[in-house]
Amino acid sequence: MNFASDNTTGAAPEVAAALVRANSAPHAMPYGNDPLTRGLAAKFSRLFEREVAVFPVATGTAANVLGLSLALPTYGGVFCLEDSHIYGDEVTATEMYTGGARPIPLRGVDGKLLAPELAKAIGQHRPSNTHAVQPAAVSITQISEFGLVYTPGEIARLAKRAHRHKLVVHMDGARFANAVAALGCRPADITWRAGVDILSFGGTKNGCFGAEAVVVFDKARAASFLYRRQRAGHTFSKMRFLSAQLDAYVNKGLWLELARHANAMMRRLANGLARIPDIELHHMPRANLVFVNMPTAMARAIEKAGFTFYHWGNAQWHTGRLVTAFSTAAADVDGFVAAARAASSGRKPKRPMAFLPRF
Amino acid sequence: MNFASDNTTGAAPEVAAALVRANSAPHAMPYGNDPLTRGLAAKFSRLFEREVAVFPVATGTAANVLGLSLALPTYGGVFCLEDSHIYGDEVTATEMYTGGARPIPLRGVDGKLLAPELAKAIGQHRPSNTHAVQPAAVSITQISEFGLVYTPGEIARLAKRAHRHKLVVHMDGARFANAVAALGCRPADITWRAGVDILSFGGTKNGCFGAEAVVVFDKARAASFLYRRQRAGHTFSKMRFLSAQLDAYVNKGLWLELARHANAMMRRLANGLARIPDIELHHMPRANLVFVNMPTAMARAIEKAGFTFYHWGNAQWHTGRLVTAFSTAAADVDGFVAAARAASSGRKPKRPMAFLPRF
Amino acid sequence: MNFASDNTTGAAPEVAAALVRANSAPHAMPYGNDPLTRGLAAKFSRLFEREVAVFPVATGTAANVLGLSLALPTYGGVFCLEDSHIYGDEVTATEMYTGGARPIPLRGVDGKLLAPELAKAIGQHRPSNTHAVQPAAVSITQISEFGLVYTPGEIARLAKRAHRHKLVVHMDGARFANAVAALGCRPADITWRAGVDILSFGGTKNGCFGAEAVVVFDKARAASFLYRRQRAGHTFSKMRFLSAQLDAYVNKGLWLELARHANAMMRRLANGLARIPDIELHHMPRANLVFVNMPTAMARAIEKAGFTFYHWGNAQWHTGRLVTAFSTAAADVDGFVAAARAASSGRKPKRPMAFLPRF
Amino acid sequence: MNFASDNTTGAAPEVAAALVRANSAPHAMPYGNDPLTRGLAAKFSRLFEREVAVFPVATGTAANVLGLSLALPTYGGVFCLEDSHIYGDEVTATEMYTGGARPIPLRGVDGKLLAPELAKAIGQHRPSNTHAVQPAAVSITQISEFGLVYTPGEIARLAKRAHRHKLVVHMDGARFANAVAALGCRPADITWRAGVDILSFGGTKNGCFGAEAVVVFDKARAASFLYRRQRAGHTFSKMRFLSAQLDAYVNKGLWLELARHANAMMRRLANGLARIPDIELHHMPRANLVFVNMPTAMARAIEKAGFTFYHWGNAQWHTGRLVTAFSTAAADVDGFVAAARAASSGRKPKRPMAFLPRF
């Protein structure tokens, strides 16, 4: 009964089985020279409907900053939201992986980084001015850290603007599966077809033990990747155990099936909570993450009923962050809603609650 | 029938079972806030007979350079053998993790870096001279990349010299288990009791899927570790899956049992090969790795018989690198020896073969 | 007739003479082992009324980031204004000199970074949270990039808050002389007595060819400085030529005399401009820099009259940045004011002009 | 009477006069937007008989590592002699400026890094092996740190080998003038015509206060230079004072005239010393630097006679490093020789003295 994060889950049965199966071979050549790893290129190329370069890593941060290191010179900057994972939750990983490039925090509009804001930021950051960090990339998170889903059109407009200024477009897809499931689109529609150049394709939060893939849509751009991964200590000698996870994860649409379940559980949760008058949802979630405001007493009561989730605030109001996952049970969702309802005053608060995001 | 490296193996059954077991819990708090990870400190403190700080990571390179990053300022240097993994096989990982510190390659004597050579190197590298990289650490590999085992006395003398000049002593213990098993000593005897400050405690090569532990013997020195691991992208959200491996690995002496088997297989292999007149062993191995010279035709014949191993050289002689592992079967060892014997000329070569190390 | 910046000036006669004099000795030992450099410690210690460590460098950026490198671990952050030189005008120098630490841009209130804003920023940046950049320093510019002067009390309150959280307090004093002259205080009053730990003591803009001093008030903190300066390529072999400039600059109060003149010229300029109804001053300047709004046509007319200054804006209004220097002539100031007055409509604009800062 | 280094000298009269002259203009636009700096491109293009990009900096280390930063990715290495300035005298500058690339020390043959040694080193450093630092550049010092002069042919053969493997060829020309003067060649002959891609063109040791030029022969390669120089803090706001030095230095062949004098003084010195039986010269110098062995008592006696030079060794023999400069007086050279002769035993030592280089 944990709604704190989708990373509190374990691995999906199919993924766990694949790992055990990969371990049944007595030997495999190391560092990716094994059949499972070698097979990923074809699998991901099919998935994305074009030839791509794909590299397994074990964490989302590694995927993000290895990807960004392909795009950022030491004097370059990457635009991102101030609430993004790369800006706020990876300490100084971008700086470390690029030899000193800079993530530049933008405010966004309603939680998203869209083309007009990017255009403004580029203008303010003085391309070609030798005193200024040079805009070199833009990174968005799909679904965003607030749970919002970028539409293909939003991405395309952002990427078009980025490419006009020779910026590389990076997507942190820690919850990419939830976005594709929410939009009902093809993976290509919100990546290369919309102008995304490099994708962190997340697996960990949606059913893997710890496996992500860096997908580079223009293979030439990835020429230095293996050196970069090695110096970062992210080349697994027994890489087949990462690849086995990814292989099973994308096999027969498992990844989307898992994400659809997570999204469905969030809808069920949100629908339930939306009917409680003293709960305010940040937005009506299409994917598997939402922020909500609720009376502090209600947050405590839900917790007391056995449900774990992050929440913070003042004596009167709290903001909570709720995440569902591939393994969330409908009964747990219903239990959460029931606990909230039981603690409700039954009345709408007079003033709209302040939304207090913080992770 | 793979003698190329111990990293071609899979995971030991006990380790695999522990991973499956860890996955049976529906939820666990992320980033190390789980019982398995929290339990490691006590387990490793018992193992090392003193209170230690211990941090799981997934690769040996990560363990090495995160450990070294605790010791090296940006203007500092770490002495190591020119054949060491940190110098020759991690691209520029040390530089990356330290903000630009330098691994300084030394030649060593008979494959080892001992106190006299260190003393000489320190003298030549001009401590306190503001034009020179400042000696800040020394790193040795136990067992070495050539398969040699440092004795407690050798380590103690090296560390004493190092500490006299305020150098931190780091040990790359990718095959630490094989060293402890070979020496029949206690883990403490070749680490902190001999003066080692930071240890990369290897698990991957000896039965884990991918799990190593950075062990810091003076806990105060580790104060910044978690920030450093996070910025490196080496903090697993589902860290329990690393910790489960390490937990099973050190449980009831499994790690030493596995290593003892690997060492025994190497002894069996070396004993067999030593009796073949046109094979020359680099040294009589106590642990699980050795280099050998043999006629090129013999190397090819062994390979043809189905045995994989690294070898290189000229038309007449080849040098091979042979590694046994926790899972090596006696029958395979015997098969290897038999294939070599079958290809032998039965005569000792007139001139001693040149030893050609290269990995 | 240049009001674009104080860095368009040459060197003051006394400084130029000192350089020529230093060149009359046929030889001097290099890298700072000369009498002029050795004498700086005593001179600056007298100037600051306590024993300080002082290091000559040639540029303000070098002074800033070498100073910051003493305070910032690779996982640390330095709070600064988003308009500060270290954030906006040094590309990624802070990142480069620290191995990847991060300057964190804050908005400030009325152009200053004061204690309450710092307190809020520290809270938001989650000290001890291992996912977050760790607050390690705060940097203010005295006088600020907008020309504002921090009072001793403002600095003391900021530093007190910083020290409560173990943040190092850095001051970019590119125009430190103008601040001391404006406040009529002692150099100590706005540095160590108010809690400043590290100062970039500027000389270039106020009469040197190219000379700044990094002043570290707690000498122990500077232990690694010489290694850091050397690896940055900022250790001059003929360092006496930097030291000669600094020596002459602080001799018999020359630096303050020069700054008082620059400030007086700015007062004369501001008093003149303040009487022109369609000019709006950002603030009534106490030092030597101010921003002004004026009709675009007026900006062009002043320029046509032979006065150089930075200005930008739209078709109707422009914002200009005006800087006076040690060598500004009163006649030039009067000429500027006269040119502005001649282009004035004589009427106050109906709506207050928007202030548009940008450098 | 200082033979310790050419960096103990001051500035040549013509250079000093140029600086004073540059200061007579009341204003100049900063950061290189001044006529003197703008004029350098044409001057250096004439000097090198092709269009080049040229950038003033103030120190040799800055010139070296800014130049190298154009050639080295974060996973790359630069081959150099273990005695080179970039390896032994710049702390970790190369690492810092490149985001972690590595200088790889080679032994050289008779003090030089020639094509065969480079070829061997490339082979050993495993290009395209993703575990290895990738060879990306080679750097030689002309004249070398031992005072040796690379011939055009030696450079051409080295560069040809380097380019075959796509290595960039860098030349540390801290004493480039002495080399050109010694060879009597054109600057182009030992740079781009022989295959050099990037040159640190030294001025400081040969008559400037502190001025070097980074010369990039393929202008396209220099596209990012200004951003790199700015983030390094090596962009002078009053850059005309660097450019004035360089302008005067290359004007009417002054630089070569100064170097010819220094070389002539060294010949005079070497000729004198060569006739003293218990002095052994490392080589018969063509440029302005040489190492010599002498009895320890002789070294002390010379010093007592008022001559400063670096020397070290044991109780019996010392090795000295002697450097002449543009300002060395013949009388001082003769005095040095006389002092040595006066302390000579008049006999050749029985065994050849061991050559003990160290700086």
Q: pLDDT tens digits, residue range B89-114?
A: 999 999 999 999 999 999 998 889 99
Please indicate if any CB of chain C lies within 8 Å of the CB of D312: no
A-chain residues near D229 (CB < 8 A): 130
Can you tell me the distance from the alpha carbon of C36 to that of B310, in angstroms, rounded to the nearest whole number? 62
Residue B358 has pLDDT above 70, yes or no: no
| Mean pLDDT of the region C206-224 | 98
Can you tell me the distance from the alpha carbon of A213 to that of A196, in angstroms, rounded to the nearest whole number? 15
| Mean pLDDT of the region D309-315 | 92
| Mean pLDDT of the region A305-328 | 95
Nearest to A16 among B4, B20, B236 (CB): B20
In one-letter notation, the amino acid at residue C169 is: V
B75/C224 Cβ within 8 A: yes
Can you tell me the distance from the alpha carbon of C73 to that of C237, in angstroms, rounded to the nearest whole number? 29
Residue D283 has pLDDT above 70, yes or no: yes
Residue A8 has pLDDT above 90, yes or no: yes
Residue A117: the pLDDT is 96
Residue B72: the pLDDT is 98
Residue D109: the pLDDT is 85
| Mean pLDDT of the region C73-90 | 97
Q: Which residues contact A14 (CB under 8 A, 6 or more apart)?
A: A207, A248, A249, A251, A254
Can you tell me the distance from the alpha carbon of B142 to that of B152, in angstroms, rounded to the nearest whole number? 11
A109 band by pLDDT with thresholds 50, 70 and 90: confident
**Chain A interface, best mutation among C92, C106, C128, C356, by max A CB count within 10 A:** C92
| Mean pLDDT of the region B243-262 | 98
Please indicate if any CB of chain D lies within 8 Å of the CB of A227: yes
Question: Which of B87-91, C215-219, D283-287, D310-314 is predicted least confidently?
Answer: D310-314
In one-letter notation, the amino acid at residue B177 is: A
Residue D343 has pLDDT above 70, yes or no: yes
Task: Using alpha carbons, list the distances in angstroms from residue C117 to A359, C102, C111, C167.
Answer: 21, 18, 12, 14
Please indicate if any CB of chain B lies within 8 Å of the CB of D134: yes
DSSP secondary structure, A314-340, as one string: -SSEEEEEEE--TT--HHHHHHHHHHH
Count how many pairs of residues, chain C against chain D, have C-beta atoms within 8 Å: 164
Please indicate if any CB of chain A lies within 8 Å of the CB of D231: yes
Please indicate if any CB of chain C lies within 8 Å of the CB of A59: no
Residue D328 has pLDDT above 60, yes or no: yes
Which region holds residue A148: left if phi is over 0, alpha if psi is between -120 and 50, else beta? beta
Residue C1: the pLDDT is 83
Task: Using alpha carbons, list the distances in angstroms from residue B283 to B110, B279, B280, B291.
Answer: 10, 12, 9, 8
Residue B84: the pLDDT is 97
C355 band by pLDDT with thresholds 50, 70 and 90: low
A59/B23 Cβ within 8 A: no
Residue B294 has pLDDT above 60, yes or no: yes
Residue B357 has pLDDT above 60, yes or no: no
Report the Cα–Cα distance between both ends of chain A, in Å, rounded.
20
Nearest to D209 among C5, C62, C238 (CB): C238
D66 band by pLDDT with thresholds 50, 70 and 90: very high
Residue B205: the pLDDT is 98
- Check: CB of residue A52 under 8 Å from CB of residue A45: yes
D75/A231 Cβ within 8 A: yes
Can you tell me the distance from the alpha carbon of A290 to that of A272, in angstroms, rounded to the nearest whole number? 13
Percent of chain C with pLDDT over 70: 98
Using the structure block, give the residue that is written with the tokens 């380019």. Answer: D163
Residue B264 has pLDDT above 70, yes or no: yes
A7/B237 Cβ within 8 A: yes
Residue A356: the pLDDT is 54
B101/D92 Cβ within 8 A: yes
pLDDT tens figures, A139-159: 999 999 999 999 999 999 999
**Chain D interface, best mutation among A72, A130, A234, by max D CB count within 10 A:** A130
A359 band by pLDDT with thresholds 50, 70 and 90: very low
The pairing of strands A76-81 and A134-141 is parallel
Average pLDDT value for chain B: 96
* Crossing angle of the two packed helices D13-22 and D240-250, in degrees rounded to 10: 140
| Mean pLDDT of the region B30-35 | 95
Can you tell me the distance from the alpha carbon of C194 to that of C217, in angstroms, rounded to the nearest whole number? 12
C130/B230 Cβ within 8 A: yes
Helix (H) or strand (E) holding B250: helix B240-250
Residue B350 has pLDDT above 90, yes or no: no
| Mean pLDDT of the region C85-95 | 98
pLDDT tens figures, C257-313: 999 999 999 999 999 999 999 999 999 999 999 999 999 999 999 999 999 999 999
Can you tell me the distance from the alpha carbon of D224 to that of D70, in angstroms, rounded to the nearest whole number? 8
Can you tell me the distance from the alpha carbon of A196 to that of B176, in angstroms, rounded to the nearest whole number? 44
Residue B355 has pLDDT above 90, yes or no: no
Between A19 and B315, the more confident residue is A19
Can you tell me the distance from the alpha carbon of A97 to that of B252, in angstroms, rounded to the nearest whole number? 39
Please indicate if any CB of chain D lies within 8 Å of the CB of C306: no
Please indicate if any CB of chain C lies within 8 Å of the CB of B98: yes
pLDDT tens figures, D242-257: 999 999 999 999 999 9
A1 band by pLDDT with thresholds 50, 70 and 90: confident
In degrees, to the nearest 5, what angle opens at C-alpha C279 toward C-alphas C274 and C285?
45
User: Does the predicted model carry a pTM greater than 0.95?
Assistant: yes
For residue C45, the cross-strand partners are none
**H and E: helices and strands count for chain A:** 13, 11
Percent of chain D with pLDDT over 90: 93
Residue C320 has pLDDT above 90, yes or no: yes
D-chain residues near B101 (CB < 8 A): 92, 95
pLDDT tens figures, C139-170: 999 999 999 999 999 999 999 999 999 999 99
Residue C358 has pLDDT above 60, yes or no: no
In degrees, to the nearest 5, what angle opens at C-alpha B68 toward C-alphas B66 and B69?
65
B349 band by pLDDT with thresholds 50, 70 and 90: confident
D231/A100 Cβ within 8 A: yes
C353 band by pLDDT with thresholds 50, 70 and 90: low
Q: What values do phi and psi take at D320, rounded to 5?
A: -115, 155
A-chain residues near C131 (CB < 8 A): 88-91
pLDDT tens figures, A240-298: 999 999 999 999 999 999 999 999 999 999 999 999 999 999 999 999 999 999 999 99
CA nearest to B205, candidates D150, A30, D180? A30
Residue C359: the pLDDT is 39
Can you tell me the distance from the alpha carbon of A184 to that of A74, in angstroms, rounded to the nearest whole number? 38
Residue A220 burial (C-beta neighbours within 10 Å; 0-12, 13-18, 19+):
exposed
Residue B359 has pLDDT above 90, yes or no: no
